[in-house]
Structure 1
């Protein structure tokens, strides 16, 4: 089976991007007391409550960033609101920990869940176990990032290619005649590959924009971003920007820039609280939002509809992935709009929230 790409176009919910952008511009900082007045599904689905009880189990790559925490929180909170039982939330620990996640999937099978929400540790290798869950009457739902299995019932995620394109566009708008260093991300992570390929393709559309190729590998933590960026900056004194596919790497790169006192800006993806000051200071030029909370909520709402045989609006199957899916459109957060973006509604789970708080 080919390695599917959703880099070519915006899918599903892309027509909602303008509405979300307008909300971000008008709402201002959204605090806890104001969140109930905001459409938690941003108009993408009409929220309903479960008429027939069912159980959902969850296994995600890790909870080391607010993207995956947001997905876990979105699933847990939406389930609570909607009358769905979350039996368990587990984590594989890191990208590549496929064997650990297989064990968690088997454990969820013994709990008698009706659905499994899977944030896969790798793109490939899951089809046999997902097929075994299907044969046991359990539907597996992909969340956050894609998985290469035609036995997935449906998925909710984002257009990984568009994320890469938007970051290249942000650099082109700031300084077309520029040099960008790249830290592509972990090997074997399809989301990182899709972003990087799309970033390179979009950069070719910007006259004068030079991209220095990087190598896949390493982790997605701040320390790895710091070490890689430090080395790249020393070898490329003419650099203007650094591309990273996810914000911990981006924050590490920004720290390397500061240590070397260079006039270099970083572009990255996914919001964490610690990155917001860096955006305000201009050390980070642009970050694409990854609304994990929204993805988690949508997954639960689609599961309710699937369980009760109700219409599933905006799900599509077009060959880009081997199962029906819906995507949330990314927005670009910059120093110009960072003060008005509703992070706490779609991006950042409540401070102090953890798995242990809901188990």
Structure 2
């Protein structure tokens, strides 16, 4: 009975979103965020440039998207920005995220699907905050090798790109000390609003936070065990079962195995395959609910060759394009492939469909 209910909910979501999935001419706002102070490796600030150079706008335009490129934001790097309570560059990171939040808010408020090109993953603080100003009921799908949910008190490095989610989470509000540059940040998510996919390098403090807060996550071991189709079904059951709401996708390129994405700052072996990563984004698109996304941590200064940089940037373009509707044959939802709404399933038939 539970299996049938899960299947029927999944099919209903797909049927409800078919028209949205097929719509042409959606407006896409591209926001470049050339910023690197959330971590210590220089070069990630060039991520937006190489992603654009890999043909992002042309790809999206050829898909029928109306692309409005907001260009690259200009960030102030303060000359004096001492480490505060173990956190590096707090004023610079806080100020940059405020600028980004205002821009994302303006882009979403103008009716666009916003695509933020990083830069490091500390930028998700501003991206999600700006999105939440117009979509306060949003949910967050975080695709990453890392949980990025350390607090300043648990972080072993003090780098803010490993603390982004903690600043967004209401459940951790009393665990975050006041930092210079962050007085404008208001936590906008509850633990039940987040699902992680692809984790494989989680710090001890982060593991405790995930467990204590009851945050849903799927490690690479879980993906091996369930398969990526079932992981996405469980993700949508968790986030969208009660109501349909906007999705914010925050995608770190290091979610992929380093053999596919070598030009990134914190690669971890054993990551997503190309097919798994693209399946995630295709299924998010098929909900018709994607409202904003981040693509971060492409670092062209860390690629072993120009070919490695090019392949990483091209992979980033593929992720963005599939999130916005580029499909492989069979990835779209079609009315003639779905059963009638009054279809009932015998137990044996359920197993054939779901397994």
Quickly name the TM-score band, shorter chain normalised.
0.3 to 0.5
- Relative contact order, CA 8 A, sep 6+: which one is greater? 1
* TM-score, normalised relative to structure 2: 0.33
